[in-house]
């Protein structure tokens, strides 16, 4: 639930590392978290965009995503 809240409050998306670091509740290792983010993207719940310098990835909720 905290992950959804963090994503919904971000206007221009959040980076994967920034999102991981912002979570206060107990969290998995970063590698497992990255796999979970990929799973959410594969299911069409979030959108991952690559920054102009190709080093950053931003995560945004899809507009039709609800809890």
Give residue 66's pLDDT band: very low, low, confident or very high (50, 70, 90).
low
**Helix, strand, or coil here: 39?**
helix
CA–CA dist 58, 46 (Å, integer): 10
Residue 61 has pLDDT above 60, yes or no: yes
The reply to whether 51 falls in a domain is yes
The reply to whether 6 falls in a domain is yes
pTM, 2 dp: 0.77
Give residue 50's pLDDT band: very low, low, confident or very high (50, 70, 90).
confident
The reply to whether 50 falls in a domain is yes
CATH code (residue 42): 1.10.10.10
Number of domains observed in the structure of the chain: 1
The reply to whether 67 falls in a domain is no
The reply to whether 31 falls in a domain is yes
**Domain region containing 23:** 2-61
Nearest to 2 by CA among 33, 32, 31: 33
The reply to whether 10 falls in a domain is yes
């Amino acid at each position: 639930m905290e992950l959804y809240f963090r994503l919904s409050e971000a206007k221009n998306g959040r980076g994967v590392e920034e999102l991981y670091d912002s979570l206060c509740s107990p969290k998995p290792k970063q590698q497992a978290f990255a796999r979970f983010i990929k799973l959410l993207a594969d299911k069409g719940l979030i959108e991952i965009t690559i920054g102009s310098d190709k080093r950053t990835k931003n995560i945004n909720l899809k507009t039709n995503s609800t809890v």
